[in-house]
Structure 1
Amino acid sequence: MHEIQHILHFEKGILYTIKALLLRPGQNIRAFVSEDRSRLVKPIIFIIVTSLIYTSITHFFHIEGNHGGPAHSATTAIMSWIESHYGYSNIIMGIFIGFWLKLMCRKSGYNFFEILIMLCFVMGTGMLLFAVFALVEGITGTNLILLATAVVLIYCSWAIGQFLGGKKFASYLYAMIAYLLGMISFTASAILLGFLIDSFNKA
């Protein structure tokens, strides 16, 4: 009940967090990490709640992904789990993105845990943006997945780059590259895991 009240609190809850992350994500996340952890919603709760909002909208409007694999393969099952559990999947994906960010931005001064906190906030906001596009798509019937993906990629690159410093173009470029590499390596790992499971079951 305490966590629910904190999320819904107008001055310190999810509405304040969303506004802060949309307007000045880097500045507000840096303040959360180093100074005041009371105003923003806890990062894990934030990404789970926002992912749940997106999942609820896509299920309501029957906007489902097409995995294109055999119905009973482990890879298809893993991809279906990812689609049904975006909150946990985003946290796992954040680990991959965080690895690339830490590797490419070693001089940023942030440790891996602080980078993961930042990614929970940024990716959670990204899920809200996806949710808005999914809502419009569900109402209008217009396929907006490519536009939504581009907007979320731009936002995440901007927010991550701002958190890392934001004074140089390289910060935003590294942020975009690390984000894309993290997504690719996460997806490749999921496919590889499914392939290994299928191969083991057939042996």
Structure 2
Amino acid sequence: MQESTSCKNCQAVTAGNYCSNCGQATDTHRLSAHYLWHDIQHHLLHFDKGVLYTVKELFTRPGYSIREYIEGKRVKHFRPISFAILLATVYGILSLYFHTDVAGGIKYEFSESGAAAFQRLNEWASQHYVAYMMIALPFAALGAFLAFRSQRYNFVEHFVLAAFLLGQALVVMLLFFPLNYLLADSPLLKVMSTVVAFIGFGLNVWVNIQFFDKLSRMRVFWLTLLSYLIMTVAMSILSAGGTIVYLVFIYLTKA
């Protein structure tokens, strides 16, 4: 039986490996280079079991793994929101440094004012990629929440599922980033972006087939498509509202 000891953080008496009062490890050592390296690995990058483990799970048994996380099996995983923010930060930095197009070659071709607004949105997304992804995240969760409402998962649980899916999609986008850079001035960029979008949708269906395994695969496919439609409509309404506000602002300032 382990001897009782006093926690060096809160002075509570505890007998386990971690303080039952504040959670700090009871076995603390003098700070050293080994401690610093372990701290960088574990707390900053968490590569020792977090990021790499989560990536592996998302590309081997994603739906089952995410459901286990939601049901409480969470120690080995990197936290989903932090996971998505970390990968979005890496992608955003790469996009800014290499001046790539986050819209993937998609152009707004309906009107001059609309094209200008879309270009400004694209520039803002490039400079604030993490914020852009975090704005999109609740819409993805909303789409899935409404499409799969019969499965009785709450909105926050769908938000966590959407965060893992976003992280998975960002891994794919990072893998295709060299092509995105090489095709920057080529009409093939739009083709590549379409291929990546289809890969993302296919992965989403795969995840949902495992996650909602009580539903038939065909039903999961159509409900996933419905969730995309709801997300797209909701984001389009937000985008249209923002564009209208921007155009009204330009009109008033010129008047």
- Smaller-chain TM-score bracket: 0.7 to 0.9
- Contact 2:41/2:48 (CA < 8 Å) preserved in 1? no
Q: What's the offset of the Cα at 1:23? A: 1.0
Correspondent of 2:231 among 182, 189, 196: 182
Normalising to structure 1: TM-score of the pair?
A: 0.83
Counterpart of 1:17 in structure 2 is 54
Correspondent of 1:164 among 189, 212, 217: 212
Tell me which amino acid in the other structure corresponds to 2:231. G
Q: What's the offset of the Cα at 1:39? A: 1.1
Q: Do residues 95 (structure 1) and 138 (structure 2) align?
A: yes
Counterpart of 1:122 in structure 2 is 165
Q: Do residues 133 (structure 1) and 176 (structure 2) align?
A: yes
- Contact 1:130/1:152 (CA < 8 Å) preserved in 2? no
What CA RMSD, in Å, does the superposition of the two structures yield over aligned residues? 2.9
Secondary structure, counterpart of 1:23 in structure 2: coil
Greater displacement, 145-154 / 192-201: 192-201
Q: Do residues 108 (structure 1) and 157 (structure 2) align?
A: no
Task: Pick closer, same or farther for the CA change 1:71–1:97 going to 2, 3 Å.
Answer: closer
Q: Aligned partners of 1:17, 1:166: CA distance in 2, in Å? A: 24
Q: What's the offset of the Cα at 1:114? A: 0.6
Q: What's the offset of the Cα at 1:7? A: 5.6
Tell me which amino acid in the other structure corresponds to 2:213. G
Correspondent of 1:199 among 221, 234, 248: 248
Secondary structure, counterpart of 1:38 in structure 2: coil
Higher relative contact order (CA 8 A, sep 6+): 1
Correspondent of 1:45 among 82, 86, 89: 82
Counterpart of 2:195 in structure 1 is 147
Q: Aligned partners of 1:200, 1:28: CA distance in 2, in Å? A: 47
Q: Aligned partners of 1:45, 1:71: CA distance in 2, in Å? A: 34
Q: Which runs of 5+ in 2 are unaligned?
A: 1-35
In the TM superposition, what whole-angstrom CA distance separates every residue of 1:103-160 from its partner, at most 9, and x where no partner exists?
A: 2221212100010011001111101101211223435776321211111121123213
Q: What's the offset of the Cα at 1:83? A: 3.2
Q: What is the total number of aligned residue pairs between the two structures?
A: 203
Task: Pick closer, same or farther for the CA change 1:14–1:62 going to 2, 3 Å.
Answer: same
Counterpart of 1:82 in structure 2 is 125
Identity of aligned pairs, percent?
Answer: 22
Q: Which runs of 5+ in 1 are unaligned?
A: none
Tell me which amino acid in the other structure corresponds to 1:117. V
Normalising to structure 2: TM-score of the pair?
A: 0.68
- Contact 1:52/1:86 (CA < 8 Å) preserved in 2? yes
